Structure formats: structure tokens, C-alpha cells
Amino acid sequence: MTETRSGHWDNVYTTKADDSVSWFEASPSFSLELIEASGIGLGAVIDIGGGASRLVDALVAKGHARVAVLDLSRQALEIAKTRLGARADGVEWIVGDVTEWVPTSRYDLWHDRAAFHFLTAPEDQTAYAKALHSALKPGGVAIIGTFAPDGPEKCSGLPVARHDGASIGRIIGPDFTLIDERHRSHKTPGGAVQEFQFSSFRKA
């Protein structure tokens, strides 16, 4: 399954410019706002499904203690590394499937913009929750962004599971308390508008 998933995303980043894909943001300002609101300061952050996102640039520039990016696509991470240049050496780059990943260290903040909603099978959602539990420090914050209940039913040709804070909370379990929930309309490079939700949870 992982090989199929990674092959799909490697193909996307090989055949399309990273600033032309539907999820592209020139500035990750909304994610930065949510990270600031989390109260973790300049703690350790992992970006799940970060790919070629510009968020890693901003986190490094702000001076976070540790920055990691996990993605299925080696090609996407290479794009981000090339863009960062020498600064890439200070980032932990993880090529892997979050549903199979075994964390070797813990983080103050887990950020996921549009990776979780691709997990439509209950067993994959459960595996994601297990990785989240393992990777996040007690008192840490998880920010999970997905298509909202009124958002698209597919992305990049793949089906998605649309969520709100309550549905995510049921999956990740009672150790997590919903502390913030926001709606966000994302305008794609092609001009379409996609409805997202971002839910923040604090781990007990």
C-alpha cells in the first residue's frame, strides 16, 4: 500500500510544478497563526505530509528548536530541500507513511494540513492516531487540517474523508482535548475554492 501511495505522490511532484498543485500556498500564514496560538513557543515541530510546503522555511526562519517533515514523496521533500539550500541540513527529513511510521523522538507540536483526510480506511485512521500518540509529548498540541464537511470529496484523483473537530476527536481518542476549531476557504492556483477545517487538540 505504501509503495502505491508514494508512487502516486512522486508522480504528482515529478509531473507538476509544486506551485501549481491545488493545495499550494505561497505563504503558510494560517498555519503559522495556529502554531502561534498553540502556545508551544519555539518548541519542536513535525509537519505531517508537508511535502514541498513553504511551512518548513518559515519554521526554520523562526528558530524552532527542532523541525521535522514527514512525507510519502521523496521527490516532494527534495524540492523543499533544494529550496532551503544549506538550511535544509538542520531539518529532519522523513520519507515514510505516517500509518507505518514508528517515531524515534517526540515533538511539542504536530501539524498536518491535508494529509489525514486521505486516510479513508478505519485501520489507517487508527494507525495515524497511534503514531500521533507516540510522537507528541504530553501537553503538546496537534493541529489537523482536512477538507470540511462541505469541502471536496476528492483531491488529486483520490477519495478523501471529510471531517470536523468532533469526528477527528473520536478517532484520535480521549487523551486529546479539542481546544480550537476554525473554518478556512482555500483558493487553489486554478481559482477554485476548497472548504477546509483546522482543529487543534491538546494532549493530556
CA distances to 26, 56, 131, 144, 150 from 29, in Å = 9, 12, 26, 15, 23
Q: Residue 42 CB: number of other CB atoms within 10 A?
A: 12
Query: How far is 50 from 162, CA to CA, in rounded Å?
Result: 19
Model confidence pLDDT, tens digit, residues 126-173: 999 999 999 999 999 999 999 999 999 999 889 999 999 999 999 999
Span 172-198, mean pLDDT? 96
pLDDT tens-digit map of 41-62: 999 999 999 999 999 999 999 9
Percent of the chain with pLDDT over 70: 96
Between 111 and 25, where is the model more confident?
Answer: 111
Superfamily of domain 2-203: Vaccinia Virus protein VP39 (3.40.50.150)
Q: Please state the rounded mean pLDDT for residues 19-40.
A: 89
Q: What is the pTM of this model?
A: 0.93
Burial 68-104 (b: 16+ CB within 10 A, else e): bbbbbbebbbbbbbeebeeebeebebbeebbbebebe
